[in-house]
Amino acid sequence: MNGWALLALLVFLFVATPAFTLAVRIFDGSGPQWSYIAGRLFSHYLPSTLWLLAGVSVLTLVVGIGMAWLVSTYAFPGRRFFEWALILPLSFPAYMMGYSYVGLLEYTGPVNTFLRHRLGMDITGPIFDIMNIWGAIFVLSMSLFPYLYVICRTTFVSRSADLLDAAAMLGSGPWRTFWKVALPMARPAVIAGLALIGMEVLNDYGTVKYYGVDTFTTGVFRAWFSMGDVSTGIRLSAILMVFVVGMLWLERGRRGNKAFAGRNASYRPAKRRRLRGGAMVVAMVACSAVLLLAFALPLGQVLYWVSLTAHRVVDTAFWTLVGNSVLLALSASVLILVCATVLLYAARINRIEWVQYASQLSILGYAIPGAVIAIGIYLPMVWVDKWLVTLFTGSSGLYVSQTVTLLIFAYIVRFMAVAYHAVSAGFQKIGPHVSEASLMLGASTWRTLIRVDVPMIRNSLGAGLLLVFVDVIKELPLTLILRPFNFHTLATRAFDLATNEQVAESANFSLCVVAIGLLPVLLLNNLVKRNSHE
């Protein structure tokens, strides 16, 4: 045991608090509302959750893989624009996209108004009833498909020309080559992308709540807020964790130790095939349609609402809220980055097996839905508050459970993986030799980290900080449950206004979130191009 191993253990225990809490409290007696919730479990929560997972998985498979294959395999006008523009929907939180589509398609929306006034169509209601599970599937798919697109695009770009030449020599056409060669080779990427998308679907609350879809997450919120039944919320959280474990098992189990691709000395990157005629038009229309549905139309509706309401909403209080949100996200991001660096550096300089395991297990919080993390953190912090009140006799109040500190604690648990992977990539690039040389010359581990390692991985640290910052800005379920009384972020203010039928006013806060999210999206595109050696 040394100082770094102890730090790694403390960080691990810190981020593992929600799992420990659920494991202990799951054996508590059932709450008074459990019978009601259990009756809805198999009739509402389970079917809706499964349908939502299946629908989003199928639609993101079609859109994500299709777009990745087009921009990485073929050359056509606008390809360079589409290859980065198709990542832009990542900056649009699903719940905000859901508000936009309701505004676009409602009776007084631009589409319905155009059809009535310009085309003379007699329409008495919305064109499409999007406020249901099918609308939620569409919105979530348009928001989440870039996860699969980015991963598959990297895989398709790095495919070997020898494999495609061999398929062509055997008489395989473009479609057969895609189904029989390219897609099977991309299976690990597809499974990893689907697992990530599935976990994001399970974490979503804003979209399904607004669209009236009952899922496990809405059940947890209902048990916690509406019914005040902690035990029922814990039981629903435990069931939701089964889904999460299933996602992780699917991603790991299906991939195993199989190797699907490799590079050797004779590796030749495949060249893009130029499209002409009808095929070129189809590719351009397909990419344009996806970008229009997933980004341009929702953004246009948000901008329209902002133009109508900005003079009423954008005031001193608005900019104070923006500043508070940015300060909260920046504080959480810095702490998360420090914790991730401590974990990785402890594993880097120690060969103790449990330190390696603790480092790797500390990132599992990203796979746990925000509502589950919130319950798993809130309950022990309430106990800490009671202990502090007892310790300081005569004191009153809540020191932790109703403060921003608890919210930052939850962000660390939830988003540790984002910073961890970014910092890990930096350490892998510089290798261990420079650090070993510094230690051999008599420098301490702390001095080596600060004076040698950190300057060499500053780009990775910056990327991790930026990505975590935007994830915190967009986070909704955690913040809704754990925020102090009358405390808002951009995401929670937009959600509260939208649920109170002030969607146009909420667009001002939504636009800030989207604008902040655009920078890391462009950074992500540069990372993909660099990793793909384009």
Res 299: pLDDT: 92
For 281-297, give one letter per residue: b (16+ CB within 10 A) or e. Answer: eebbeebeebbebbbeb
Res 267: pLDDT: 47
Of 50, 52, 37, 370, which is closest to residue 208 (Cα–Cα)? 52
pTM: 0.82
Q: Which tokens in the block code for residue 401?
A: 């459970």
Res 255: pLDDT: 55
Q: Which tokens in the block code for residue 475?
A: 């986070």
- DSSP class of residue 160 equals B
Summarised one tens digit per residue, pLDDT across range 209-233 is 889 888 888 888 877 777 767 777 7
Q: How far apart are CA 93 and CA 475, in angstroms?
A: 9
Report H helices in 315-449. Answer: 316-349, 353-361, 370-391, 404-430, 433-440, 445-448
Q: Where are the domains positioned within the chain?
A: 1-24+314-487
Contact, 306 vs 508, CB < 8 A?
Answer: yes
Name the CATH superfamily housing domain 1-24+314-487. Answer: MetI-like (1.10.3720.10)
Q: Which tokens in the block code for residue 365?
A: 């919080």
List residues bridging with 273 in a β-sheet: 74
Res 252: pLDDT: 61
Report H helices in 74-129. Answer: 79-85, 94-105, 110-117
Is the dihedral angle over the CA atoms 409, 413, 419, 424 positive or is it negative? positive
Which residue ranges of the chain lie beneath pLDDT 70? Answer: 1, 29-32, 40, 120, 122-127, 158-175, 177, 179-182, 228, 247-248, 250-270, 393-399, 431, 524-534
Res 332: pLDDT: 92
Residues 6 or more apart whose CB falls under 8 angstroms from that of 107 comprise: 123, 124, 125, 126
Summarised one tens digit per residue, pLDDT across range 152-204 is 887 777 665 556 666 666 666 666 767 666 677 777 778 777 877 888 888 88
Q: Which tokens in the block code for residue 529?
A: 């191009």
Res 265: pLDDT: 44
- DSSP class of residue 130 equals -
Helices (runs of H) and strands (runs of E) counted in the chain: 29, 2
Contact, 348 vs 427, CB < 8 A?
Answer: yes
The phi, psi pair for 160, rounded to 5°, reads -85, 140
Res 291: pLDDT: 94
Amino acid (1-letter code) at residue 308:
L
Q: Which tokens in the block code for residue 202?
A: 């399970």
Residues 6 or more apart whose CB falls under 8 angstroms from that of 491 comprise: 93, 206, 325, 473, 474, 475, 476, 479, 509, 513
